[in-house]
Chains A and B, each alone.
Chain A
Amino acid sequence: MEQIIAQSPASHADLMERARAVRRHIITSTRDGKSGHPGTSLSCADLLVALYFGHMRHDPQHPHWAGRDRFVLSKGHGAPALYSVLAEAGYFDPAELSTLRRIDSRLQGHPDMHKLPGVEASTGSLGHGLAIANGMALSLRLDQSDSRVYALLGDGECQEGEVWEAAMAAAHYKTGHLTAIIDRNRLQIDGSTEDVMALGDVGDKFRSFGWNVIVIDGHDMAAILGALKAAHETPAIGQPTCIVANTTKGKGVSFMENVVKWHGTAPSPEEAEIALKELM
């Protein structure tokens, strides 16, 4: 089977440099769009860079290549991170990032598969992505494809009941080629996840649903790549893997880190300038 990897295997240093570029895009696009979710995008930037530049099979020149791995951004408000990664990968010109959330832009507030190449599924309303990804995985298995499917969920998103319906279904149907990644940044709009609706040990919850669980530092590139690789080699055949990635909301910008306000507030030009300096 033909296999295309977008970039030749990158070193950790290359990936970290790429992640800094992605973070700069997140800042400038939300600044230019005067809207968006920088904090939540910064927390998952390293995860997305690892997936798109160090792990998944995909081809920006052929977004619908049948042999590609699939990625579903279940936490659709992380769109600026996804757009920045797709632009860096070559799906579209990074200059377009400045149109984020503007009228007639392909870069909708939440990802729209019909507007932007590389977006596998339109998301935004929380809770859908794991079920969609599991459906993709089941379908790919019927076709005897070896493509893998990844879904990135927010930790707050795990308060949605549908996530657990899908978790149950993936374990039941043994979709071992499905990997869920939880962006465990511990903050949601109204405050700490543990104050709003305690999630406790998310990994334990997935484990009790029958998943293989790997807990990592979601900003440690080697750890992310190691976990993604380990997900291919799950202990039980057909067991789906959940990677609980402990992250920091707003990661990389000192005044945004762990500050809930930056969940969905765009930086002013002045704030963006400070942020960009930190991200050089």
Chain B
Amino acid sequence: MGAPVVNTKDKIATRTAYGETLAKLGAERSDIVVLDADLACSTMTQYFAKQFPERFFNMGIAEQNLVDTACGFALAGKVPFASSFAMFATGKAWEMVRNSVGHMNLNVKIAATHAGITLGEDGATHQILEDLAITRVIPYMTVLVPADAPETEAIIRAAAEHNGPVYIRLGRPAVPVLPRGEKGVEFKIGRAEVLCEGTDVAIVACGVMVYQAILAAQELEAEGISATVVNMSSIKPLDKETLLRVAKATGAVVTAEEHNVIGGLGGAVAEVLGEEYPVPMVRVGLQAVYGESGTADALMKKYGLLASDVARAAKSAIAKKR
């Protein structure tokens, strides 16, 4: 199958899909509570807050307290979703995520938005490029990155069903819905989504980079290069089976993420391939740098996160094949 065509007309941000899904879940389940840290209008937990004010807790600008209070709810039997910008929910409150959520293996869902460089204009202090690295090292923690709105709904529902800590990385900008045909989203924790199968290179991407990976596959196809595109939305547990299968089928792997290439998706994929089936690999992402202010599009261009960058990386990985 060739690279699919993406309809770019109806874009929606994963954070928006998160807010809408939470509101639906709130109606379906009385054990869901939502906590935010003065960003409900941005994380979109405001939809839940409006419908279920008695189950919504704004903790103010106090992310450590946000996470530990969520732990208290979980200890008393609730399913808390704690939201803020990813920078603060995982960065400022990391020790609470590690020592409370993780160590107690609590049923806390940290659904954090504005992750990555596409946060845009607020700049380096708000653009977390390390959250996948610092959450996936935590024992018991599941780490998920939806690539579009329908997958966000599936992931939020899966997280609510899963008994244990989950980190969900959500984005600020509106993103297109990925082409899946009639079957729609079939998300399962630990299962990747193969969007197209090729023979020369496998592009393994997450979040906003899945769309860029599809565009890259189209570019490569026009040049006679056949690429697999994998949406690796389950960063932890990583879908090793699918990863090894596409690595064996193509012999070259490119990872693509709006995250530091150290420790995130690229790191996770390299760990598996390094131990199980080494193939030439190129990691597209932030090259151990801080971001800066600018529009999401301008930043993606400046920091090498566009389809053309992914396509170039694919050719480079293919060229490294022996």
Contact = CB atoms under 8 A, between A and B. Distances in A.
A114 B104 contact: yes
A29 interface: no
Nearest to B103: A122
Contacts of A121: 71-72, 75, 100, 104
Contacts of A135: 68-76, 80
Contact of B57 (A120, A138, A168): A138
Given A122-B103, A131-B69, A137-B72, A142 B64 contact: no
Interface in A98-120: 113-114, 120
Which of B70, B75, B99 has most A Cβ within 10 Å?
B75
A11 interface: no
B64 A165 contact: yes
A206 to B, nearest CB: 15
Given A135-B75, A169-B65, A142 B54 contact: yes
A251 to B, nearest CB: 29
Nearest to B58: A172
B110 interface: no
Interface string B99-122: 110011100000000000000000
Given A128-B99, A142-B55, A114 B105 contact: yes
B11 to A, nearest CB: 36
Contacts of A140: 76
A22 interface: no
A81 interface: no
B77 interface: yes
A121 B108 CA distance: 14
Interface string B252-290: 000000000000000000000000000000000000000
A45 interface: no
A138 B241 CA distance: 43
A42 interface: no
B24 interface: no
Contact of B76 (A139, A162, A165, A173): A139
Interface string B66-105: 0011111111111010000000000000011001100111
Contacts of A165: 59-60, 62, 64-65
B99 A173 contact: no
A132 interface: yes
A134 interface: yes
A152 interface: no
A166 B71 CA distance: 13
B77 A139 contact: yes
Interface residues of A, number: 30
Contact of B65 (A113, A114, A124, A131): A131
B104 A113 contact: yes
B64 A132 contact: no
Contacts of B70: 135
A135 B59 CA distance: 11
Nearest to A112: B103
Nearest to A162: B64
B110 to A, nearest CB: 14
Most buried by B among A125, A142, A161: A142
Given A131-B69, A166-B69, A169-B62, A136 B76 contact: yes
Contacts of A169: 59-60, 62, 65, 69
Contacts of A162: 62, 64-65, 68, 96
Contacts of B144: none
Contacts of B60: 165, 168-169, 172
A275 to B, nearest CB: 32
B57 A166 contact: no
Contact of B72 (A113, A131, A161): A131
Nearest to B37: A165
Contacts of B68: 128, 131-132, 135, 162, 166
B210 interface: no
A175 B60 CA distance: 16
Given A131-B65, A162-B64, A168-B62, A120 B55 contact: no
B64 A161 contact: yes
B299 interface: no
B33 interface: yes
A92 B60 CA distance: 41
A187 interface: no
B72 A134 contact: yes
Interface string A38-79: 000000000000000000000000000000001000000000
A268 B295 CA distance: 65
Contact of A128 (B74, B78, B80, B100): B100
A139 B33 contact: yes
Interface of A: 70, 113-114, 120-122, 124-125, 127-128, 131-140, 142-143, 161-162, 165-166, 168-169, 172-173
19 contacts: A121-B104, A122-B99, A122-B100, A124-B99, A125-B95, A127-B64, A128-B96, A131-B65, A135-B68, A136-B73, A138-B73, A139-B75, A142-B33, A142-B78, A143-B76, A162-B62, A162-B68, A165-B65, A172-B60
Closest 5 CB pairs of A and B: A135-B72, A131-B68, A139-B76, A165-B65, A165-B62
